[in-house]
Amino acid sequence: MRIEYSKGQRASDELIQLHRKASFESSGRKMKVMLIFPPDWFPSEPYLSLPSLTSVLRKAGHTVIQKDVNLEMWDWYFSEDFLKKVLRKVPQQLDRLRKLSNKRDLTDYEMDVQLALCDVTRQRIDELIKKAEKAKAIVRGETFYDIDRLEWAIQVFREVTQTISLVYAPARICMPPMETDLSYKVYASNDVIDAVNDEQVNVYRDVFDQIVKPVLEAEKPDVVGISIVLQQQIFSSMTFCALIKQQFPHIHVTIGGNTVTRLRDVLSQSPLFQFFDSAVVYEGETAFLQLVEAVGAKRDLSGVPNTIYKDAKGVHESPLSYAEDMAELPPPDFDGLPLSKYFVPTNVLPYLATRGCYWGRCEFCDHGEGYTAGYRSKKIQDVLADIKYLRDKYGVRHFHFTDESYPPALFRKLARGLVESKMDIFWTTHMRFEKSLLEDAVWEDAKNSGCRYLHFGYESGVERVLQLMDKATTTEIMTKHLKLTADAGIWNHCMGFFGFPGETKEEAWQSVQFLEQNKDYVHSLGFGTFDLGRHNPVAKHPERWGVTAYKNPEWDLALDYYFTVTNGMSIEEAERVFQEFERNHYSGWDLRLYIREYIFLYICRFGLKKLNDLQYSAAKIAGITPTLAGKM
């Protein structure tokens, strides 16, 4: 099913320029903008939204402060300053639990927390401070490439976050994997509001005071923009928004990003709108620039495309939409981000050459909902020029091409262009299994161009199920792809799931068997179960799939729904298959590393000859049982 892109009246380039001219004529002043990337995300590379917006805003003459609060938060968590703060909070938490026990019996979990807090002594904190600083030094230095040392560092991060969790309980903080839970429902506005105001569990209030507030006081921005990529980031984002509006009411606060776009149909009615002034949906470069200049000129926001905003009369949605002209977008601007603080020994920079998905037909996918126009791409000469510019300016050789699915024709041109220009970089990206790429010469170019790690949309190894999904590939094509990449020394990671409507239990196991038959060419996996997303094609046409969705009206921010099916596995059956798959699968897929950028850097350094060293070894990691769920 092709994605429909008719979302609002398209704003013309002429209208955009007219709006900019009017803004300058009525104000003309340059604005100061602070951009925030909120927690929680693994701090291994910058997220692209801030540098993309920054490049456009600075080109227009505005001042931008980029603030990767997520990165700075994790750096702070693993520091002497924060861990001593944890120690000071231990008596407060014990007192809270004591008072609670006077009102009712403590739960088993609360008693476990109480007991564990007694071990959080000054000596224990001093020990954690030393280990945390050493762990950060390992992930940022050459010892990163010693797998035993790196694994020890990752374990320290878990150990420290477990201790932090004790003083913020019942919140649970975990890294890695990223599983921070404030004990509130992120898919219900009322729960999010309660979490924002909960001074016991909401660690992000402390993060605001330590990291965000000092910059607001020093820089005095006119506008703050927060990019919300994952739904879990709503907790931190709404906390920051609420505290900014309380303490700096003159600042215009805007939210944007993938999650905001997916919630656009409910956002204007959500009580969360009390915490911010506007939201930018779909693509944000031009829209956010127009919004900043309209705010500076004190103009009405109705003419700003892709915008939901509030004024004295209520909340309104702009009738205009706008999609970016890729040829007009400058390369991302990372200036101002603390690149030396990311949890990697050498920087990996993201870059995006396309918008949308060239295929755009997968029945389970809702990525197209993030756009108001179809697939677009930069010209290959511009892509190569941008990569060279970023390589030279920031002294980096490792790139993550974050395109949703790299187009076959552009993949060929990119690999050949990188070889011919002797770019001397390493890169990773995301792909489909494509018949048009089954040539030895393609993969010889890919290898020589620095391609080292590819994420493939595998989904299923059963052709009937692939046809249901409209994947337009075959097991023969997948087998050839896997062998070609492995032979070229390129790590392949297969992403799949169980439980697509109509898939039987037998077909799910056939899908696993296909992978096991090709285990010599499949390096790692990321598996889960099918989600009925709010905007995916199955949710839009449930009758075609025999699907019945159950929508709780109190869960207004839900991005996926519980459902039943008339044919194939139920949600529960798919989950049981997944759990059985975790228990019984080829042991070579259990890896000691599962952070995407870490595997990428290891393959760049050692190639596939270190594959056996990356595989899990019980003798080397006592007491840890790996699960595929933890690796997703």
For the stretch 87-121, pLDDT in tens is: 999 999 999 999 999 999 999 999 999 999 999 99
Is the residue at 165 inside a domain?
yes
Same domain? 548 vs 589: yes
pLDDT of residue 367: 85
Nearest CA to 501 out of 452, 566, 439, 411 is that of: 566
599 shares a domain with 539: yes
C-alpha–C-alpha distance, residues 569 and 468, integer Å: 14
Where is the domain boundary, 292, 312, 332? 312
Residues 451 and 387 in one domain: yes
Q: Residue 631: is its pLDDT beyond 80?
A: no
> Residue 628's pLDDT is what?
35
Instruction: Determine the pLDDT at residue 622.
Output: 41
Q: How far apart (Å, rounded) are the C-alpha atoms in residues 148 and 614? A: 10
Answer positive or negative: Cα dihedral of 539, 543, 546, 547: positive
Check residues 618 and 502 and name the one with the higher pLDDT.
502
Q: 182 and 156 in one domain? A: yes
**Does the bond joining 177 to the residue before it have cis omega, within 30 degrees of 0?**
yes
- Pairing state of beta strands 560-565 and 223-227? unpaired
Residue 212 DSSP code: I
What's the pLDDT score for residue 254? 98
pLDDT at 614: 87
Long-range contacts of 567-573 (CB under 8 A, 24+ apart): 567/501, 567/502, 568/499, 568/500, 568/501, 568/502, 568/503, 568/504, 569/498, 569/499, 569/503, 569/504, 569/505, 569/508, 570/499, 571/499, 571/529, 573/499, 573/505
- Taking residues 439-466, what's their average pLDDT? 97
> CA-to-CA distance for 178 and 175, rounded, in angstroms?
5
What CATH code is carried by the domain that includes residue 298?
Answer: 3.40.50.280
- Asked, for residue 320, whether it belongs to a domain, the answer is no
Is the distance from CB of 199 to CB of 205 less than 8 angstroms? Answer: yes
Does 193 map to a domain? Answer: no
Same domain, 440 and 483: yes
Same domain, 225 and 150: no
Same domain, 471 and 580: yes
Q: What is the pLDDT of residues 1-58, one digit of tens each?
A: 566 666 666 767 766 666 666 666 666 679 999 999 999 999 999 999 999 999 999 9
Name the domain count of the chain: 3
Statement to judge: residues 405 and 523 lie in one domain? yes
For residue 619, what pLDDT band results from cuts at 50, 70 and 90? very low
Residue 291 belongs to a domain: yes
Distance (Å, whole) CA 76 – CA 482: 41
For residues 562 and 610, state if they share a domain.
Answer: yes
Q: Please give the mean pLDDT across all residues of the chain.
A: 93
Do 256 and 284 contact (CB within 8 A), yes or no? yes
Q: How far apart are CA 473 and CA 178, in angstroms?
A: 33
Q: What is the pLDDT of residues 380-392, one digit of tens each?
A: 999 999 999 999 9
pLDDT at 300 over 70: yes
pLDDT in tens, 537-584: 999 999 999 999 999 999 999 999 999 999 999 999 999 999 999 999
Asked if residue 35 belongs to a domain, the reply is yes
Does some domain include residue 254? yes
Q: How confident is the model at residue 166 (pLDDT cuts 50, 70, 90)?
A: very high
From 145, 164, 186, give the residue that closes a domain. Answer: 186
Distances in Å between the Cα of 297 and the Cα atoms of 28, 77, 148 are 7, 40, 57
Last residue of a domain, one of 154, 186, 218: 186
Planar angle of CA 234, 238, 239, nearest 5 degrees: 115
Claim to verify: residue 115 and residue 240 sit in the same structural domain: no
Q: Which amino acid is at 398?
A: H
**pLDDT greater than 70 at residue 401:** yes
337-374: pLDDT as tens digits: 999 999 999 999 999 999 999 999 999 998 888 888 88
Domain assignment of residue 124, given as a range:
74-186
Q: What integer is the mean pLDDT of 270-287?
A: 97
Give the pLDDT score at 629.
33
Q: How do residues 58-75 score in pLDDT, each as one tens digit?
A: 999 999 999 999 999 999
44 and 146 inside one domain: no
Q: For residue 27, what pLDDT is reported?
A: 61
Query: CATH number of the domain that 409 lies in?
Result: 3.80.30.20
Amino acid sitting at position 615: Q
So what's the pLDDT on residue 178? 85
The least confident of 258-272, 344-358, 361-375, 590-604 is 361-375
pLDDT grade for 303, boundaries at 50, 70 and 90: very high
The fraction of the chain above a pLDDT of 90, given in percent, is 88
Output the furthest CA–CA distance in the chain (Å, rounded). 74
Residue 105 maps to a domain: yes
Residue 376 has pLDDT above 80, yes or no: yes
Q: What percent of the chain has pLDDT over 70?
A: 93
pLDDT per residue as tens digits for the range 169-191 = 999 999 998 888 999 999 999 99
Mean pLDDT of 313-332: 95
Instruction: Indicate the residue type of 148.
Output: D
Reported as a pLDDT band with limits 50, 70 and 90, residue 613 is confident
In a domain, 322, yes or no: no
- pLDDT value of residue 337: 98
Whether 220 has a pLDDT exceeding 60, the answer reads yes
**The predicted structure's pLDDT at residue 579:** 96
Same domain membership, residue 161 and residue 265: no
Cα separation of 180 and 176, whole Å? Answer: 10
User: Which helix (H) or strand (E) is 355 found in, with range?
Assistant: strand 354-355
Separation between Cα atoms, residue 567 and residue 465, nearest integer Å: 13
